[in-house]
Amino acid sequence: MKIQVPRATVLALALFSIADAHAQPSAPAPAASRGCGMAASAGTGDALARREAFDAAMRAHAIPGAQLIHTRGGISEAYCHGVLKSGAAAKVGGDTVFQAASLSKVVGAYIALHLVDEGKLDLDTPLWDYWHSARTRDNPLARRITARMVLNHTSGLRNWQISPSDPAIDRTPLESRFAPGEHYAYSGEGFYLLQRTLEHITGSSWNALAAREVFSRFDMPSSSYLTDHAFDARNASGHDKDGTPEPDRVFAWENTAWTLVTNAHDYDNFIQKALYRGEGLKPATHALMFAPSSDADDPASPSPADPFIAWGLGVGLQDADGRQLVWHWGDNPGFKALFMLDPASGESLVLFTNSENGPAAYKQVLRAFMGPGDYPAVDWSSAQD
């Protein structure tokens, strides 16, 4: 496993030092514009070149609409492209909301770690000890799953036992692919099991818990795990590869693995304040989030990018080209998303697109904003189920 090699150990120690430094008083988090006019300092030739590169990447891959925020040196630049829905006139603006897909999981991971710091959750206690889920009652292996195994994707559960949009999900027994902790395999079901456990522990619905612990804490007014009809006029619609709009989706119940609706302004605040600065977390817990916890090598989904990727607690870790980055990708029908964060400098990028073609533009955008490189995380994510 990669977490056993010296490089991973050095990475963990370095990130602990970074996180501890961030816990000390520091400069205010960057203020991202809620609009898509670039920040005050962004009238430079470099910023204009980045805007042109962003628009060119979106056009090259026929992406109807997108939002991007790039933060570097305490300055956030906001960019918008295209329309909410193909064939419609409404343009993407700073307040447009997108499906975040699996970027939802990172918010869930933060909430879990915050509850660890409050003494309400232990990372290595089986979730069964907190709550007897009917879905794991008849599965001895699943009853051994811990929060750590969920967060580093070694729970042994399938990505989805049943479609997460099927109302039968809460009464469908979970089957294990392998013993918990045996190896990595990406699982949305694991996160949903953790969510239901945390709801039981706190006595709160997931959206209310997220609103209290994350959305209000980090100035995320356009974020919800449930469909909020107050956002209807500014909801982006997803699109197939050929540009055909997908039917609009209603999230009638929360699922921390995939139902977050948000925008670049909100998620940039989360990246900068929660992930980079570690606000609301003890320094050691913050460092643990970024320390390699599993090797991210799924025998069922091998990738040439495997040597460059590990998994922390809720986030991916890329170590390539002499740079270590924290990242996650999102993949819902018609919506694709990506964020990357340099935990040493605080430079970050968050991109939301309303198109199946989003991933085809990722490397072009990353190289334009975060510098040259191979970005194997993009290749790795394409190999996952």
Query: What per-residue confidence (pLDDT) applies to 25?
Result: 34
Residue-wise pLDDT for 239-264, tens only, equals 999 999 999 999 999 999 999 999 99
Query: What per-residue confidence (pLDDT) applies to 19?
Result: 38
The class level of CATH for 2-26+100-334+348-382 reads alpha beta
Residue-wise pLDDT for 44-71, tens only, equals 678 899 999 999 999 999 999 999 999 9
Of 11, 223, 204, nearest to 114 by C-alpha is: 204
Residue 3 pLDDT grade (very low, low, confident, very high; cuts 50, 70, 90): very low
What value does the mean pLDDT take over residues 368-382? Answer: 97
- Give CA–CA dist 238/247, Å, rounded: 8
Query: What per-residue confidence (pLDDT) applies to 47?
Result: 87
Residue-wise pLDDT for 84-132, tens only, equals 999 999 999 999 999 999 999 999 999 999 999 999 999 999 999 999 9
Of 33, 382, 19, nearest to 219 by C-alpha is: 33
Q: Are 41 and 51 in contact (CB under 8 A)?
A: no
Domain boundaries, the chain: 2-26+100-334+348-382
Residue 178 pLDDT grade (very low, low, confident, very high; cuts 50, 70, 90): very high
Higher pLDDT, 109 or 25: 109
Query: What per-residue confidence (pLDDT) applies to 385?
Result: 64
- Give CA–CA dist 124/369, Å, rounded: 39
DSSP 140-172: TTGGG-BHHHHHTT-S-B-S-SS-TTSGGGGGS
Other Cβ atoms less than 10 A from the Cβ of 374: the count is: 15
Query: What per-residue confidence (pLDDT) applies to 350?
Result: 98
Residue-wise pLDDT for 338-356, tens only, equals 999 999 999 999 999 999 9
Dihedral sign, CA of 74, 321, 329, 202?
negative
Residue-wise pLDDT for 129-172, tens only, equals 999 999 999 999 999 999 999 999 999 999 999 999 999 999 99
